[in-house]
Structure 1
C-alpha cells in the first residue's frame, strides 16, 4: 500500500533560518527540505534591512525565481558587478545558475522583502567581497 500524501503547512512563526545564508540577507525557509518533505524545491522569505546588501555569491546549479513583496531591490551582476537590474514591489526576477551577483536593498529607511524559490535547495556559494564603492548607486545609510 502506498504511503498517504498530504499537504504540509509551515506556519509563519515556524519559518526555518538554518538554511544557507550570505551576509545580512536573512533567508527563512517555508517549503524546503529544512521543514517539509520537499526534495526538489526551496521556497522562502528573504529580507534585507535598510541599506544592507549581500556579499557576492551564486546559487550553484539552482535556478532562482524572486518576487518583491516590499521595497526597492537591486541585483548587481556581470564583470566587476558593473551591471544591475532594479526591482520594485510586484516585480519578478529570474537568476540563472552559477551567476555571481549581489543583492541590495536600495532604501536606507525601509526593509526589502522578497519571496524566493529555487531548485533543488537553497544552495549558496559565497565569493570574495567587493567594496561598497564598486556598486554603482549603492549606499548603506
Structure 2
C-alpha cells in the first residue's frame, strides 16, 4: 500500500522560529526540514525591525535567494564589509554559499520584510561582530 502524498500547509500563525538565527535578523520558516517533510529546501519570512541588522554571518554551503516584500534593505559584504548593495520592495537577490555578509534595515522607522529560500536548509554561521560605524551609511536611529 502506497502512502498518500498531500500538500503541507503552514499557516501564517504557525511559522516556526526554531531555526538558525543571527542577531536582530529574525527568521521564521514556512517550509523547512524543522517542521515539514521538506528535505532539500528552507523557505521563510525574515524581518529586521527599524534600524536593526544582523551580525556578520554566512550560510555555509547554502545557495540563498531573497525577495524584498517591504522596506529598504542593504547587504554589506567584501573585505571588512566595505561593499554593499541596496534592495527595495520587489527586488530579488542571490547570495552565494559561504559569502560573509551583514543584512541591514536601512530605515529607522519602517520594518524590513523579506522572503528567503535556501537549499538545503537554513544553515547560519555567525562570524565576529563589526561595529555599526564600520558599515557605511548605516545607523540604528
Task: Tell me whether the two structures share a fold, i.e. TM-score over 0.5.
Answer: yes
Alignment of structure 1 residues 3-18 onto 2, 5 Å:
3-18=3-18
2:91 maps to what in 1?
91
Q: State how far apart, in whole Å, the 2-side matches of 1:26 and 1:133 are.
A: 22
Task: Report the number of matched residues.
Answer: 141
What is residue 100 of structure 1 aligned with on the other side? 100
Alpha-carbon distance in 2 for matches of 1:27, 1:64: 13
| Aligned residue runs from structure 1 range 72-83, under 5 A | 72-83=72-83
Q: What RMSD in Å do the two structures reach over aligned CA positions? A: 0.5
CA deviation vs aligned residue, 1:42-101 (integer Å, no higher than 9, x gap):
000000000000000000000000000000000000000000000000000000000000
The equivalent of 2:60 in structure 1 is: 60
TM-score where L is the length of structure 1:
0.99
Deviations 1:21-47 (A, max 9, x none): 000111000000122100000000000
Q: Secondary structure, in 3 states, of the residue corresponding to 2:110?
A: coil
Could you state the TM-score of these two structures normalised by the residue count of structure 2? 0.99
Please give the residue correspondences for 1:107-122 in structure 2 after superposition, counting only pairs within 5 Å: 107-122=107-122
Partner-residue secondary structure (3-state), 1:35: coil
| Structure 2: 5+ residue stretches without partners | none
How far apart in 2 are the matches of 1:35 and 1:113?
Answer: 22
- Give the structure 1 partner of residue 22 of structure 2: 22
Displacement of 1:2: 2.7
Which of structure 1's runs of 4+ aligned residues deviate more than 4 A? none
- Inter-partner Cα distance in structure 2 for 1:25 and 1:76: 14
**Which runs of 5 or more structure 1 residues have no equivalent in the other structure?**
none
